[in-house]
Amino acid sequence: MNTAAGRLIRAELKLMTRDPLVLTFVFAFPIVTMLIIGGAFGTRPNPGFDHTNPAHWYVASYLTVVIAAVGLVMLPVHLASYRERGVLRRFAAAGFPRWSFAVAQLVVGLITTAVACALLLAVAAPVYGLPALHDGWRVAVALAFGAVGFISLGVLLGTLLPSARSAQAVGLLLFFPSFLLGAGGPPPDVMGSVVRHVAGPLPLTLLTNAVRGPWLGVDSATASLVGLVAMTVAFTAVAARRAVL
């Protein structure tokens, strides 16, 4: 870890743990909302939730909320603030290659996501119990591609938006509708047809479907997984090109 990327990763991890935005949106918000909405719908199997336990439905869904918070809120604001203050130029002047910073953001984003997801499951376990994992490899593949895809999107937004305030505004504007329509809001069965059509192609909807269906054993969600992989490849390619130029 004495390489340029290693030194950046250590420094970035320290900064992330001190950032109130990270602590709020990545760690606290998914847990608090999961506990509230899971309690609102109860734990009896419900036809609106594919005849599964509604609390388990939301436990499986809220791992994707963590991923979205990292990619749409945490990273764009962090990177845009660096650009705004000239930190990236100072990194370049100090001899850090541009690719090392992009790699550091990917690793830090993945570590933050893993820790936040583990914490969410640790809180959910004694309250609602953890849903049985029916198709673990599909869930693992979806979470991995989803995490990389949203981190790439976060890096892309952070390199495009001119300031931390604009990144926060755009990030929150993208996050909350995605959250309500694609993961943490009401089940699709109670949404109107127009809302379902709007929600269907959203990246967070694809990720949530690809995780929740195989986890709960109600759907293989192959189409959502294919769409998620395509989205991740596209976001990663554009973000990598943007980050190294």
Query: What 3-state class would DSSP assign to 221?
Result: coil
Return the amino acid letter for 70.
V
Count CB-CB contacts under 10 A for residue 42: 12
In which band, very low, low, confident or very high, does the pLDDT at 136 lie, cut at 50, 70 and 90? very high
pLDDT value, residue 11: 78
Q: Is the dihedral of CA 130, 136, 138, 140 positive or negative?
A: positive
pLDDT value, residue 92: 64
State how many domains the chain has. Answer: 1
Return the amino acid letter for 58.
Y
Return the amino acid letter for 14.
K
Region 11-34: what's the mean pLDDT? 84
pLDDT value, residue 130: 92
Phi/psi at 46 (nearest 5 deg)? -135, 135
- 135-149, 179-193, 229-243 — most confident range: 135-149
Tokens of 215: 């986890």
Domain that holds residue 150: 4-244
Tell me: pLDDT of 67 over 90: yes
Phi/psi at 186 (nearest 5 deg)? -70, 155
User: Residues of 137-146 as b/e, b for ≥16 C-beta within 10 angstroms?
Assistant: ebbebbbebb
Of 31-35, 83-87, 213-217, least confident by mean pLDDT is 83-87
Tell me: pLDDT of 134 over 90: yes
Higher-scoring residue by pLDDT: 45, 114: 114
- Closest by CA position to 61, among listed 176, 145, 179: 179
Q: What is the pTM of this model?
A: 0.91
When computed from its CA atoms, the radius of gyration of the chain, rounded to whole angstroms, is 18
Q: What is the pLDDT of residues 98-112, one digit of tens each?
A: 677 778 888 989 999
Tell me: pLDDT of 202 over 70: yes
pLDDT value, residue 93: 65
Region 168-176: what's the mean pLDDT? 93
Say what percent of the chain tops pLDDT 70. 92
- Closest by CA position to 150, among listed 205, 199, 216, 98: 205
Cβ atoms of residues 87 and 132 within 8 Å: no
